[in-house]
Amino acid sequence: MKLATKVLSAALLPFLPFVGSAQTPATPPARKFQGQEPIKGVPTESKPVEKQIKAVFPFESEKVFLSNQFTAARLNAVSKKDDGVYDIHIKPENTPVNASPWYAFKVWSGNDKPVRFSFSYAGNVRHRYEPKVSKDRKHWQQLEAQTVNGIKLYEVKPGSDTLWIAAQELTTSSDVANWVSQLEKKKQVKSFSIGKSTLGKPIQAFSFGNSQSKNYLLVLGRQHPPEVTGHKALTAFVESLLSEGKDVSSFRKDFQIIVLPLLNPDGVDEGFWRHNAGGVDLNRDWSSFNQPETRAVRDYLKKEITEGEKLLAAIDFHSTHDDIYYTVTPEKKGNVPGLITNWLTQLTEKIPGYSPHIKPLYFEPPTYTSFSYLFETYGAESVVFEIGDSTDESFIQKKGKASAEALTQLLNEFIAK
């Protein structure tokens, strides 16, 4: 029997490539990540958030020091276990909260001994982000875990130089402001602020393209603080829209592009897991508008997009467990029917072997999320562009560029009709 099977498989082998190549499988493999369940409403009136005590956490006898005294830090306590492992205690800003356990701290030591650490999260939330480490806060490397007795341990040798350790690369509101001012120096970008956050920080915005055009594209991001990979996808996408390609150049002649890169500056700078400084998930407040951040966007767009002007499309960048696009159900038609479906189809052609994971997530009001609000209010073809927490940097760049090329081609064709 065994022999017969062997002969059969060998005989079939030469024909296998015709059954389906690796790049275009006849049936795509089943996906592990199913995406999120339909969005439910939650109260979005402001709630208290717990203030994080900023301090140095000293272990004098071992000459090991940890600190959360910097922007976007999160470190609530440290305890030293019998085996010498430093257990990092992390708490969210308030509860209930989505399980995106952000952390960021510095560590240094008065000797060359390795420092081993583990993580404990309030509410038994599971570890989600593998630690990234940096000596200069610019270049980051992921730490590999060793699992001992079911506990993930990480080891660094900080020495007297400070090491930053964070759930994702640190990208604060000043980093975003620097990125915007770099763009402003080189390109025809106009930056401004559309209002203030709960703690009084500016909600940054910029625009480019043809300021006389009646056709708009809106790009928004970072409603949720830890979603740094989504921010990277946003920057890759926007930088491609500002590049010299033929399609993007003619796109800029015919469209106005508005970018709101960081809707939750307080949450980012306070090192929150999910919420704004009002203790609320901003991406559930697009029906009640209880928070200053969502109100600022609503009021700005009302003033900017007036009678006879059209918000053709809107892309909201996020991060989650794996790459996925959340769409408005295709049965609902907006300003450019079929745009999102055609766009995502083009992405499969531009990135060989890539099959986008697409899940309709908006069917009817109320509009708790920004993408559904923009669809219902403006007829904008809306999509949530989610990048995986661990998606490779080069793929994020490739996808950002391909996305910009495909979208501008389709919108150029649309207005040429």
Query: Judged by CB under 5 A, does residue 399 bind Zn ion?
Result: no
Query: Judged by CB under 5 A, does residue 231 bind Zn ion?
Result: no
Angle among Cα 385, 279, 290 to the nearest 5 degrees reads 80
Nearer to Zn ion, 209 or 279 (CB): 279
Residues 378 and 207: their CA atoms lie apart, in Å, by 19
Nearest residue to the partner Zn ion, using Cβ: 318
Q: Binding segment for Zn ion among 122-130, 182-190, 256-264, 313-321 (CB under 5 A)?
A: 313-321
Nearer to Zn ion, 127 or 318 (CB): 318
Tokens of 135: 């000596």
Verify whether residue 386 is a known catalytic residue.
yes
- Residue of 138, 134, 141 whose CA lies nearest to 163: 134
Nearer to Zn ion, 154 or 237 (CB): 237
Residues 232 and 362: their CA atoms lie apart, in Å, by 25
Residue 380: alpha-carbon gap to chain centroid: 21
Nearer to Zn ion, 318 or 401 (CB): 318
Rounded to the nearest whole angstrom, what is the least distance from the CB of residue 96 to Zn ion in the complex? 16
Query: Judged by CB under 5 A, does residue 318 bind Zn ion?
Result: yes
Rounded to the nearest whole angstrom, what is the least distance from the CB of residue 76 to Zn ion in the complex? 23
Catalytically annotated residue among 93, 270, 376, 386: 386
How do 141-142 and 64-67 pair as beta strands? unpaired
Query: Judged by CB under 5 A, does residue 224 bind Zn ion?
Result: yes
User: DSSP labels for 78-132?
Assistant: EEE-TTSPEEEEE--SSSS--S----EEEEEESSS--EEEEEEEGGGPPP-SPPE
Cβ-contact 54, 68 below 8 angstroms: yes
Rounded to the nearest whole angstrom, what is the least distance from the CB of residue 212 to Zn ion in the complex? 34
Q: Binding segment for Zn ion among 51-59, 134-142, 198-206, 217-225 (CB under 5 A)?
A: 217-225
Residues 275 and 370: their CA atoms lie apart, in Å, by 15
Residue 250 to residues 184, 190, 401, 413, Cα–Cα distance (Å): 20, 19, 16, 11
Nearer to Zn ion, 227 or 381 (CB): 227
Rounded to the nearest whole angstrom, what is the least distance from the CB of residue 223 to Zn ion in the complex? 6
Residues binding Zn ion: number (CB under 5 A): 3
Site for Zn ion, rule CB under 5 A? 224, 227, 318
Active centre residues (catalytic): 386
